[in-house]
Amino acid sequence: MDKPFEISSVIKGSPVQLIHGHHYANADSNLPKRQITVHITKNVPTEDKMPKTIIVVGVARGGTTVVAAVLDSIGVYMGPSTQLGAGGAFENQVFMTDETNWPAEIDRCNLLYDIWGWKNPSMFNMMDHIPHTVRNPHCIFVFRDIIALAGGLIARRGINQDSGDVVALAEESLQTLYKAATEIDLPSLFVSYERIKTSPEVFVASLAQFCGLTVSPRQRAEAMERIMPQGGYIHLPNGWQSATDQSTE
C-alpha cells in the first residue's frame, strides 16, 4: 500500500519516536524536545524496491546541483564523469538536450545500473513526458527561498532587470515547480535547499533512505564535503571521477 504525504526524519545516533506523523526527540535524547521536520515524501510504496531511476527536479539556481552531487557520492549513477564535471553542474548532458536523444542513454543506464538518475532544472516542464522505458521513476523536488533564488538568477545570468521583476520571475518558477510536484503521482521527495545547508547530515540520511541505499562512512564523508557551506556551484579538482562512473569510455 502506498503512503500519502508523510513527514519524517532520520537523526543519526539520536533515538526518535513517531507522534502524530512527526518525529520528536525522546526524553532520554540530548536533542531538545521540539518537532524535527526534516523531509516530506509522497506516494512512496511500503516496499520500495530496486531498480529505481531518480529524477532531480527544480529551477535554475535552485539547489539541484548539490542534490545531484550528493546522489552521486552515495552511489547513484548520475552520468559520465567527463560530463558531470563540466562546470561542476552535475548534469548528464544527454538529458539537457532534445528528448529524442534520451532513449539510447536510458537503455544504456538501465543495462548497467540498478539505480541511476539525472538532474535537469527544467524537468518540471516535462513531467508528463517521462519516457515509459524509465524504470520505477522517483522524483526529488528541490525548493529554495524566493529571495535567494532571485539573487542567484542575477548572479548567474546577469539579468539586467528591476529587482521586483526578478523576484516575480523566481516566484513564477517556484509556483510552476510546486504545481508539478503536487500533481504528479510518482514517488517523490521534497527538500529545501536551505535545510540541506543547515542540516547536511540529516539530508544525506534522508536521501539515502528515499533511494533505498546503505551509505558507508566514506560515502557519507564525501557527501558532506559536497554540501558547501558557502553555497554556489561545486568546483571539482583535476582528475576527479564520479563515485559511480562505470563507463569504459
- Amino acid identity, residue 78? M
Question: pLDDT (tens digit, 9 = 90+) per residue, 43-85?
Answer: 888 888 899 999 999 888 888 989 999 999 999 999 887 666 5
Whether residue 189 contacts residue 41, with contact meaning beta carbons closer than 8 Å, is answered with yes
Q: Mean pLDDT across the stretch 125-135?
A: 83
Classify 233 as helix, strand or coil: coil
Distance CA 225, CA 87 (A): 17
**CATH 3.40.50.300 placement within the chain:** 41-198+209-226
Q: How many Cβ atoms sit within 10 Å of the Cβ of residue 11?
A: 18
Distance CA 201, CA 203 (A): 5
191's CB contacts (< 8 A; 6+ apart) are: 39, 63, 67, 140, 141, 142, 143, 203, 206, 207
Question: Between 158 and 18, where is the model more confident?
Answer: 158
pLDDT of residue 158: 62
Tell which CATH classification among 3.40.50.970, 3.10.20.340, 3.20.20.120, 3.40.50.300 matches the domain 41-198+209-226: 3.40.50.300
Question: pLDDT (tens digit, 9 = 90+) per residue, 209-227?
Answer: 999 999 999 999 999 988 8
pLDDT of residue 89: 76
The residue to which cell 532534445 is assigned:
98
The residue to which cell 532531480 is assigned:
56
The torsion angle over the Cα atoms of residues 74, 231, 225 and 240, rounded to 10 degrees, is 80
Note the Cα 129 to chain centre separation in Å. 19
- At residue 29, does pLDDT exceed 50? no
Whether residue 111 contacts residue 53, with contact meaning beta carbons closer than 8 Å, is answered with no
pLDDT of residue 245: 56
pLDDT of residue 163: 66
pLDDT of residue 162: 62
Distance CA 187, CA 3 (A): 9
Question: Between 19 and 248, where is the model more confident?
Answer: 248
Write phi, then psi, for 116 (nearest 5 degrees): -150, 175
Q: What is the CA radius of gyration of the chain?
A: 18
